């Protein structure tokens, strides 16, 4: 489950937004740091890496010297340490672009408090589960190879036929979990409990969306590697 008092960095150029997020997250039990621009955000990340970042897509556009939210996202993804990023914005047209740059989720403003907290907790649970599993395994067990798919549970990387595939933390956690338990059927509810955590309040069809994303990114045919067990859930086949 989520580690106690996880640190969340909020990056938004509007003070009212930063204040609202600090209040919401603080009441939910998180430690909150805040930055009003990309440069300050990257400095804070290097000084004290947070557990998760809430990042506005559109930062101060009036100052040409400031970074955009997508610039900040790309800089974070270039860092050695993996930090999950959830994008916040009023502009839904930026959704595909931000997810394509490595954001793990997209939340529109104004946000629903329960949905936002649920997404944060699910993400932190997934990352924590991956890290715990990696610590419990020997060095030889940290890489799972199934056919031409290679899953590195230490560096959170997946490759197929030597080409690295960019998965979100939840997609990665789901694929890694299935790969560690091959040939076994899992219901959607079981997968939600194992990967998203018992605090997840979303719908079971969330699993379907993540499986579809994994298949699309790995360019898998339907039921290739990950089989749909009709009326039940999914199974990874060797």
The full set of domains in the chain, from first to last, is 7-111 (3.40.50.2300), 138-236 (1.10.10.10)
CB count in 10 Å sphere of residue 210: 21
Q: Which of 23-37, 140-154, 192-206 is the most confident on average?
A: 23-37
pLDDT given for residue 23 in this prediction: 97
Report residue 180 as tokens. Answer: 């560690």
Is residue 185 very low, low, confident or very high in pLDDT (cuts 50, 70, 90)?
very high
Distance from C-alpha of 201 to C-alpha of 206, rounded to nearest angstrom: 11
Instruction: Give pLDDT tens digits for 35-86.
Output: 999 999 999 999 999 999 999 988 876 677 778 888 998 899 888 788 888 8
Q: How far is CA 24 from CA 20, 21, 163, in A?
A: 6, 5, 40
Confidence check: pLDDT of 137 > 70: no
Cis peptide before 14 (omega within 30 of 0): no
- What value does the mean pLDDT take over residues 16-44? 95
Is residue 140 very low, low, confident or very high in pLDDT (cuts 50, 70, 90)?
low
- What value does the mean pLDDT take over residues 94-120? 75
Unique residue bearing structure tokens 């060797």: 238
Distance from C-alpha of 182 to C-alpha of 174, rounded to nearest angstrom: 12
CB count in 10 Å sphere of residue 152: 17
Contact 58, 150 (CB under 8 A): no
Burial of 54 (0-12, 13-18, 19+ CB in 10 A): buried
pLDDT given for residue 62 in this prediction: 66
Pick from 18-32, 68-82, 83-97, 138-152: least confident:
83-97
pLDDT given for residue 22 in this prediction: 97
Q: What percent of the chain has pLDDT over 70?
A: 84
Confidence check: pLDDT of 148 > 90: yes
8-state DSSP, 200: -
Confidence check: pLDDT of 150 > 90: yes
Pick from 64-78, 97-111, 185-199: least confident:
97-111
Mean pLDDT of the chain: 84
């Amino acid at each position: 489950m989520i580690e106690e008092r996880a640190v969340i960095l909020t990056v938004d150029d509007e003070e009212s937004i930063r204040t609202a997020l600090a209040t919401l997250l603080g009441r939910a039990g998180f430690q909150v740091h805040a930055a009003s621009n990309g440069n300050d955000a990257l400095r804070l990340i290097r000084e004290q890496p947070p557990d998760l970042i809430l990042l506005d897509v559109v930062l101060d556009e009036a100052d040409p010297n400031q970074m955009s939210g997508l610039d900040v996202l790309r800089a974070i993804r270039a860092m050695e340490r993996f930090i999950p990023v959830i994008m916040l914005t009023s502009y839904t047209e930026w959704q595909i672009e931000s997810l394509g740059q490595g954001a793990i989720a997209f939340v529109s403003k104004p946000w629903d408090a329960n949905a936002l907290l649920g997404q944060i907790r699910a993400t932190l649970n997934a990352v924590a589960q991956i890290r715990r599993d990696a610590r419990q395994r020997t060095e030889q067990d940290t890489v799972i190879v199934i056919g031409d798919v290679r899953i590195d549970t230490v560096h959170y990387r997946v490759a197929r036929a030597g080409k690295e595939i960019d998965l979100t933390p939840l997609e990665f956690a789901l694929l890694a979990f299935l790969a560690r338990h091959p040939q076994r059927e899992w219901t959607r509810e079981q997968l939600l409990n194992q990967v998203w955590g018992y605090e997840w309040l979303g719908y079971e069809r969330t699993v379907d969306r993540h499986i579809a994303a994994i298949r699309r990114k790995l360019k898998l045919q339907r039921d290739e590697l990950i089989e749909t067990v009709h009326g039940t859930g999914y199974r990874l086949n060797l």
